[in-house]
Structure formats: structure tokens, C-alpha cells
Amino acid sequence: MSPTPNRGSALAAALTAALLVPALSACDSSDDKAAEAKAAHLTVLAASSLTDVFKTAGAAYEKAHPGTKITFSFAGSQELAAQVKQGAPADALVTADTKTMDGLKADTNAASVIAKNRLVIATGKGNPFKIAGLKDLADTKLKVVLAAPEVPVGRYSRQILDAQKVEVKPVSQEPNVRAVLSKVELGEADAGLVYKTDSAKSAGKVDTVEIPDDQNAVASYPAATLKQSENAGAAAAFVAWLSTPEAQKILQDAGFQKA
């Protein structure tokens, strides 16, 4: 006759197996997130003024994270916000102001400021009209171009002009800071208000007139992952990396200020 099974031992074995299942599932989930963070194809929506520095930063990140590919889509922050609200497939967002990011709280996770910037006056090469400051932009003989008021740099421009009681009637209002700079580079405008980093990138094509800090505005660049991202772990890893010493050095070498 076969020995009677030990019911206590059988019960203990069953309980052990039951406890192991969620533990193993948790390990699998953790491993999946780790793998996702290590390798993914990310789409990052970023403000136009980050175009050059993010190309450098993206290359550095990909080199340090084999298997990860980053595609950037650059545009004015207001255009990026519209894309997010329309459900554009993307993983992270970096705007040139906190106001735009704050308006997307339903679509983004917690944001953190990764850099700051200031405005300058970009003039034609050699500054032929001898522009020395904001008040000179009121000269009706000058062709001044600004960004549209719904664009962060356009809003900052109006803010500082109004504070100094300088009335400017722009010959055009552009959709982003790069378009403003392009008008000055091509000679289609005599001057324009742009970010310091953009003007510096065009050294040799335009001249830069500094604006004193007490007349200037500080632009903050918040970064956040998108709730709709299908690469949540990898997106969070990239956004976190933007605040690391390596990324901050790249940003500051490009003229951005420490967050």
C-alpha cells in the first residue's frame, strides 16, 4: 500500500508556489522596465531654441546608452503644445517657458527646469544702425521683427519692451525664435529680439547687443515625459539625464544658464 500523502506538506508547497508567482511577476516587471530604459526609440518634442544643443546632447546620450535612438522634433513651444493636445506620438517634451508646460498638466508627468536663457538684440552684421539698447528699437526707420505673442520668446519680448515703455511696431511676427533670427541674418530685418544662445550660434552672421539684467527676462526650460508615451522608462531616463553634470555641461557650453 502506498504511503498516505502528508496534507501539511502539500499545503505548504501550494502556499509557497502562490507566494512565488507575484514575486516572479514583480521581477519580470522590473526587468522589463530596466530593459525599456536601456533600449528604445524616443521622440522628443523640443523648443526651437534647443535645436543645436539638443543635437549634441542627443548624440552624447545615444553613445552612453547603446540601443537607444532619439529623434527630436523642434518647433515653437505653442506648436509643440498643440501637437501634444492632438495626441502626437511622442515620449517627452521640453518647452521654452513654464507657462506652456503648466498648461499641459493633463498630458505630462512632473516637469523639472533643465536650463535658463536670456534675451539679446540681434542686429545686422556690423550693427549698421548702431543699436545700443531696447529704446533704440522704437526708431520707426528700423525694420524690427519679433516672435508672435503666443510664442514664449515673443511673450518675453513684449514683457521687457513694455517694462521699458518702448513701443515697437514689428514688420513681422514670427512663429519661433529661429525664424526671427533668420530674418535678421538675411537682411530682411534690421534687428530682432532673440535668445542669447541663438544669437551666439549665428556669430559672424549677426551682431549681438546685450540687454542689462534689470531690463531683461529669464526664460526657463522645463522638461517632462508624456503620459501617452509607450516608452515610459526610457523617456524618464532621458529627462532625468538632462539634469546630470554631463548634460548640464553641454547646455552651459552652448550658452544656457544653470537651472
Q: Is the whole model's pTM more than 0.95, yes or no?
A: no
Q: What was the pLDDT predicted at 2? A: 45
Summarised one tens digit per residue, pLDDT across range 163-197 is 999 999 999 999 999 999 999 999 999 999 999 99
Q: What was the pLDDT predicted at 85? A: 97
- Name the 3-class secondary structure at 116: strand
Summarised one tens digit per residue, pLDDT across range 107-119 is 999 999 999 999 9
Q: Is the pLDDT of residue 24 over 50?
A: no
Domain coordinates of the chain in residue numbers?
Answer: 37-116+220-253, 117-218
Residue with C-alpha cell 550658452? Answer: 255
Residue with C-alpha cell 522628443? Answer: 44
Cβ neighbours of residue 218 under 8 Å, at least 6 residues apart? 116, 117, 118, 257
Cβ neighbours of residue 107 under 8 Å, at least 6 residues apart? 84, 85, 226, 227, 228
32 or 46, which is more confident:
46
Q: Is the pLDDT of residue 210 over 90?
A: yes
Asked if domains 37-116+220-253 and 117-218 share a fold, the reply is: yes
Beta bridge partners of 73: 45
CATH class for the region spanning 37-116+220-253: alpha beta
Q: What was the pLDDT predicted at 78? A: 95
CATH architecture of the domain formed by 117-218: 3-Layer(aba) Sandwich (3.40)
Summarised one tens digit per residue, pLDDT across range 48-103 is 999 999 999 999 999 999 999 999 999 999 999 999 999 999 999 999 999 999 99
Summarised one tens digit per residue, pLDDT across range 152-165 is 999 999 999 999 99
